[in-house]
Amino acid sequence: MKVGFIGVGAMGVCMGRNLLQAGHAVTVFNRSPGRAAALVSDGAVVASCIEEAAAQTVVITMLAHDAATEAVVFDSGFIAAMPADGVHLCMATISAELARRLAQTHAQAGRGYVSAPVFGRPPAAAAAQLFIIAGGEPAAVALCQPVLDAMGQRTYHVSNAPAAANVVKITGNFMLAAIIESLGEACALTRSYGIAPTQLVEILTSSIFPAPAYKIYGGIIANETFEPPGFTLRLGLKDIRLALAAADEKEIALPLASLIRDNYLKALTRGYENLDWSALALVAQEDAGLPRR
């Protein structure tokens, strides 16, 4: 299948490579050309403009936030360049509000739109082991399925409404942030009693919390391996804000999300914005008067 790919970051480069390995013809565009060029040796074609990438059967956008997605889709000839039977597959973590706008704009133009955000860090993306949450009309999702299968281990089609997929993704990231917050507080508590965080995490993840999320983030926090980031702290704050915005729309209180947002803001003031989002744990550690190890 002819696939356009816009946004070749840490996740995108892995996803694009898997598409190429699965035999898809991939045309990539990135505002920093060097990143797009990284896929040339795998067989990708580098587009000279956004419109060239959008002119494929399926065009994927994997951008950092709402503003970047809006700039690509609305401030260019993106939609006009799409073929009549084309589908825009947005795999970024964006707001439900933007997903609704994208779906409406594409429908008005007679083009397909699917939201398909993913669960998984760069190593999972490299191994084509992402979990993909899809929202969109069944025919549009079916067209994208061979592409999704090349990047993930399972696709969940949650709704015909694209924004529903974004709400699921936002909710999942809120829960991951809650795990990070609780691990940070737990490590601070036990460390104050002379128990090494590595020992605590090893006990917890081999007994009552054997889930991958606890093992991955527990290991990062216990060893303070916050660089290089798999997902930056500033992006973590962005996703918590998306969860709070979705809750505000329905007048639902998320008190834990509010606490986590405030701690992310603390972390920013301490200069941690470019560390992994699990560096949120440093706030609990420092508030307990414990130095970094």
Given pLDDT bands bounded at 50, 70 and 90, which one contains residue 2? very high
Given pLDDT bands bounded at 50, 70 and 90, which one contains residue 293? confident
Report the 3 state secondary structure along the chain: CEEEEECCCHHHHHHHHHHHHCCCEEEEECCCHHHHHCCHHHCCEECCCHHHHHCCCEEEECCCCHHHHHHHHHCCCHHHHCCCCCEEEECCCCCHHHHHHHHHHHHHCCCEEEECCEECCHHHHHCCCEEEEEECCHHHHHHHHHHHHHHEEEEEEEECCHHHHHHHHHHHHHHHHHHHHHHHHHHHHHHCCCCCHHHHHHHHHCCCCCCHHHHHHHHHHHHCCCCCCCCEHHHHHHHHHHHHHHHHHCCCCCHHHHHHHHHHHHHHHCCCCCCEHHHHHHHHHHHCCCCCC
Q: Which domains does the chain have, with CATH numbers?
A: 2-160 (3.40.50.720), 167-287 (1.10.1040.10)
Whether 233 shows a pLDDT value over 90: the answer reads yes
Mean pLDDT of the 209-238 span: 97
Mean pLDDT of the chain: 97
With CA atoms as reference, report the closest residue to 84 among 109, 59, 105: 109
Whether 119 shows a pLDDT value over 90: the answer reads yes
| Amino acid sitting at position 76 | S
Q: Please state, for a pLDDT cut of 70, what percent of the chain lies above it.
A: 100
- Would you state the structure tokens that stand for residue 235, as one six-digit string? 């992006």
What pLDDT does 38 receive?
Answer: 86
Residue 209 CB neighbour total at 10 angstroms = 16
What pLDDT does 31 receive?
Answer: 85
| Amino acid sitting at position 131 | F
Given pLDDT bands bounded at 50, 70 and 90, which one contains residue 164? very high
How far is the C-alpha of 205 from the C-alpha of 213, rounded, in Å?
Answer: 10
What pLDDT does 105 receive?
Answer: 98
Contact of 44 with 28, CB cutoff 8 Å: yes
What pLDDT does 33 receive?
Answer: 79
pLDDT 10s digits, 194-215: 999 999 999 999 999 999 999 9
What pLDDT does 37 receive?
Answer: 85
Mean pLDDT of the 70-95 span: 97
What pLDDT does 35 receive?
Answer: 82
What pLDDT does 47 receive?
Answer: 96
Whether 263 shows a pLDDT value over 90: the answer reads yes
Q: Tell me the catalytic residues.
A: 169
Q: Please state, for a pLDDT cut of 90, what percent of the chain lies above it.
A: 97
